[in-house]
């Protein structure tokens, strides 16, 4: 049910001391379709097991000739270190087709705010390219504001290009950097972005009064550590911006989800409909739909297995599924989208459609 791809690394471009961009070219003769804000899932072999990591595109179709991902080293991280230290131009990577819902609104809005930190700039950079450089762009008159937090200028990924945009589009694009360890940098505040500061900045942007029309025509895109995104979301909700205008991309789950006790005496039947195939399999009580499929050699799509990336999303068309996020559990029925990696069948039979 998932499309495996082979990609060749054409070049590896250093961005900062611990970050590099990998320019990719399909090595399997198929085009690689993606949208700004989406990510690629890379497949790695580690001790005889397959492991997956997602990397957002830092490029934009129609602006960049080839797709690229940008990877920041995580201390002791298995595959970010492998990519940065060992993978070179000419090497092949295995992947599954691009995915992700961190997408721009379809209709033009007045203002788009982006709040990013560290490598969280990657999908945002792809959006900024689309908004500022693409001719096929529904948001030509939209004002764009970027709040971008880092340690200092040197560790700020894509700073040179963002600075060029600041100079080139003074009426349309505003950017404030937040540096925790640098003072007096241009376009920067030497402060952490906290709720008080975010509220002050937003009120100043809207000249102290946010009208209902402005609330309806402003969207927010967050990609940063969870604590910063939680703070931003709470501040935006306090200012009455609608929740459905706040989109976020989570790179790392907050905490590990607890395992459930598996009851092998109780089974559920799953009917999974893909684009070209229909598969039936069983899950035990307490086993996620995804784990049950993988245990039986059925290749359902997934990346994070933690409920943060949405690669595994399927539409429930019959039956009931319990979806267990870190902070809430939802019971979903026909018509709902469910994450199969954290989804447990509740009814005897569940029907799911993939790739909708
Ligand atoms: C939708 C999505 C898009 C992503 N896009 C990008 C991207 O564009 N660029 C990018 O560099 N990464 C991105 N990531 C994160 C990436 O998938 C990996 O999680 C990251 O590279 C770490 O993998 P690893 O194998 O090196 O670390 P692991 O071996 O998985 O982790 C090692 C340790 O580091 C901690 N850790 C893991 N990741 C992070 C992190 N990001 N920050 C702090 N601590 C961490 C873990 O808790 C663990 O203790 C994205 C993740 C998702 C879900
Ligand atoms: S695999 Fe990432 S949300 Fe399910």
Q: pLDDT tens digits, residue range 171-224?
A: 999 999 999 999 999 999 999 999 999 999 999 999 999 999 999 999 999 999
Please tell me the number of the ligand nearest to residue 119's CA. 1
- Predicted pLDDT at 243: 96
* Percent of the chain's residues with pLDDT above 70: 100
Q: Of ligand 1's atoms, which has the minimum distance to the CA of residue 100? A: 1
Write out the DSSP string of 290-338. Answer: HHHHHHTT-----SSSSSSS-TTEEEEEES-EEEE-SS-EEEE-TT-EE
Output the average pLDDT for the chain: 95
pLDDT computed for residue 328 by the predictor:
87
Distance 183 CA to ligand 2 centre (A): 40
pLDDT at 253 over 80: no
Q: Would you state the pLDDT for residue 136?
A: 80
The counts of H helices and E strands in the chain are 7, 20
Q: Give the pairing of strands 92-99 and 39-46.
A: antiparallel
3-class SS of residue 193: coil
CA 249–ligand 1 middle distance (angstroms): 12
252 has pLDDT over 80:
yes
How is the chain split into domains, by residue range?
4-98, 111-248, 263-354
Instruction: Specify the ligand 2 atom closest to the Cα of 304.
Output: 2
Q: Is the CB of 305 within 6 Å of ligand 2?
A: yes
Ligand number with the minimum distance to the CA of 307: 2
Residue 54 Cβ < 6 Å to ligand 2:
no
In the prediction, which pLDDT does 317 show? 98
Residue 257 banded pLDDT, cuts 50, 70, 90: confident
Residue-by-residue DSSP string for 122-133: HHHHHHHHHHHH
Whether residue 52 has pLDDT greater than 90: yes
pTM over 0.85: yes
Residue 239 clears pLDDT 90, i.e. is over it: yes
The answer on pLDDT for 130 being more than 80 is yes
Top mutation candidate among 310, 330, 338 for ligand 2, by most atoms within 8 Å of CB = 310
Q: Which CATH superfamily is domain 263-354 in?
A: Beta-grasp domain (3.10.20.30)
| CB of 22 sitting under 6 A from ligand 2 | no
CATH 3.40.50.80 fits 111-248, yes or no: yes
| pLDDT range class, residue 3, cuts 50, 70, 90 | confident
Q: Of the ligands numbered here, which is closest to the C-alpha atom of 158?
A: 1
Q: What is the residue with the minimal CA distance to atom 42 of ligand 1?
A: 74
CATH architecture of 4-98: Beta Barrel (2.40)
Closest ligand 2 atom to Cα of 313: 4
Report how far apart, in Å, the C-alpha atoms of 166 and of each of 123, 132, 178 are.
18, 11, 15
Assess whether pLDDT exceeds 80 at residue 45: yes
Tell how far the Cα of 58 is from the centroid of ligand 1, in angstroms: 16
Q: What DSSP element (H or E) covers 25?
A: strand 19-26
């Amino acid at each position: 049910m998932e499309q495996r791809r082979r990609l060749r690394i054409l070049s590896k471009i250093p961005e900062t001391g611990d970050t590099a961009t990998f320019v990719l070219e399909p090595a399997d003769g198929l085009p690689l379709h993606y949208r700004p804000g989406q990510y690629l899932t890379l497949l790695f072999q580690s001790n005889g097991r397959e492991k997956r990591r997602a990397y957002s595109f830092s490029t934009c179709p129609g602006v960049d000739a080839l797709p690229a991902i940008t990877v920041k080293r995580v201390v002791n991280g298995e595959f970010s270190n492998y990519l940065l230290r060992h993978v070179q131009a000419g090497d092949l990577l295995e992947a599954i087709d691009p995915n992700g819902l961190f997408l721009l609104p379809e209709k033009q809005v007045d203002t788009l705010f982006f709040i990013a930190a560290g490598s969280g700039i990657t999908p945002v950079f792809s959006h900024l390219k689309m908004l500022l450089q693409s001719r096929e762009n529904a948001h030509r008159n939209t004002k764009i504001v970027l709040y971008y937090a880092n340690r200092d200028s040197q560790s700020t990924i894509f700073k040179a290009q963002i600075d060029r945009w600041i100079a080139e589009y003074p009426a349309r694009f505003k950017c404030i950097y937040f540096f925790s360890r640098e003072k007096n940098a241009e376009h920067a505040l030497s402060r952490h972005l906290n709720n008080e500061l975010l509220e002050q900045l937003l009120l100043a942007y809207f000249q102290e009064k946010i009208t209902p029309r402005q609330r309806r025509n402003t969207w927010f895109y967050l990609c940063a550590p969870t604590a910063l995104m939680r703070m931003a979301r709470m501040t935006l909700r306090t200012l009455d911006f609608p929740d459905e205008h706040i989109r976020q991309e989570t790179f790392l789950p907050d905490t590990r989800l607890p395992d459930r006790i598996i009851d092998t005496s109780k089974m559920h039947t799953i009917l999974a409909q893909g684009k070209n195939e229909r598969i039936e399999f069983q899950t035990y009580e307490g086993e996620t739909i995804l784990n049950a499929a993988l245990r039986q050699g059925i290749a359902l799509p997934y990346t994070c297995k933690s409920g943060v990336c949405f690669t595994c999303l399927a539409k429930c068309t019959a039956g009931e599924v319990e979806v267990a996020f870190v902070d809430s559990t939802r019971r979903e029925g026909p018509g709902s989208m469910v994450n199969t990696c954290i989804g447990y069948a509740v009814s005897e039979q569940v029907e799911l459609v993939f790739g909708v």
